[in-house]
């Protein structure tokens, strides 16, 4: 299940009540050096990093009309000895974790990996993310 982490810490520098443009700026600053880690598992809950996908900085964009932040990450696939199961998108303070899959229409998955995730070591995997601000603004304002 998709989980948001660090929203309270991110909002420490934002005036109350939080509005979308303030939160967007805080997120844009926080995500400047973000990365997405794709994890697999072998044995008893051992997390293995299968791919590390850093931000493509030129793709980080705030869509004011839709109130969302869009960006892409890309990087090499590091291992192929297990299937991707979970991911962690991490900025400096803010992060998102959840379940992922290479197979479309799998129940309970938060992130379907782009077709560039071939599972072959050395191939470059790309992933697009969109963070909708409306739900985050509501959560941020409820954090008092």
pLDDT tens readout for residues 71-115:
999 999 999 999 999 999 999 999 999 999 988 777 788 899 999
Q: Tens digit of pLDDT for each residue in 10-33?
A: 998 888 899 999 999 999 999 999
CB 18 within 8 A of CB 137: yes
Position 46 confidence tier, pLDDT thresholds 50, 70, 90: confident
Distance CA 20, CA 42 (A): 41
100 strand-pairing partners? 111
Distances (CA, A) of 13 to 25, 49, 91, 140: 11, 32, 15, 12
- Residue 7: pLDDT band by 50, 70, 90 thresholds? very high
DSSP H helical ranges for the chain: 7-10, 20-30, 133-141
Q: What is the per-residue pLDDT for 144?
A: 61
Residues 128-144: what's their mean pLDDT?
92
pLDDT at site 104: 77
Q: What global pTM score does this model have?
A: 0.92
Ordered by start, the domain boundaries in the chain are 3-141
Mean pLDDT, rounded, for 35-63:
93
Q: Which distant-in-sequence residues (6+ apart) come within 8 Å of 25 by Cβ?
A: 62
Cross-strand bridge partners of residue 69: 62, 131
| Rama region for 42: left / alpha / beta (φ>0; ψ in -120 to 50; rest) | beta
User: Which pLDDT does position 45 carry in this prediction?
Assistant: 67
> What whole-number distance in Å separates Cα of residue 136 and Cα of residue 94?
11
Supply 13's token pair.
């520098």
């Amino acid at each position: 299940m998709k989980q948001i982490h660090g929203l309270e810490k991110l909002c420490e520098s934002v005036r109350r009540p939080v509005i979308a443009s303030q939160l967007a700026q805080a997120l844009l600053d926080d995500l400047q050096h973000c990365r997405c880690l794709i994890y697999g598992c072998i044995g008893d809950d051992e997390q293995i990093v299968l791919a590390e996908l850093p931000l493509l900085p030129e793709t980080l964009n705030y869509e004011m009309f839709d109130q969302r932040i869009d960006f892409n990450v890309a990087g090499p696939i590091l291992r192929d000895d297990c299937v991707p199961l979970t991911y962690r998108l991490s900025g400096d303070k803010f992060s998102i974790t959840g379940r992922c899959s290479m197979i479309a229409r799998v129940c309970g998955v938060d992130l379907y990996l782009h077709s560039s995730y071939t599972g072959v070591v050395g191939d470059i995997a790309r992933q697009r993310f969109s963070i909708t601000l409306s739900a985050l603004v509501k959560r941020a304002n409820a954090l008092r």
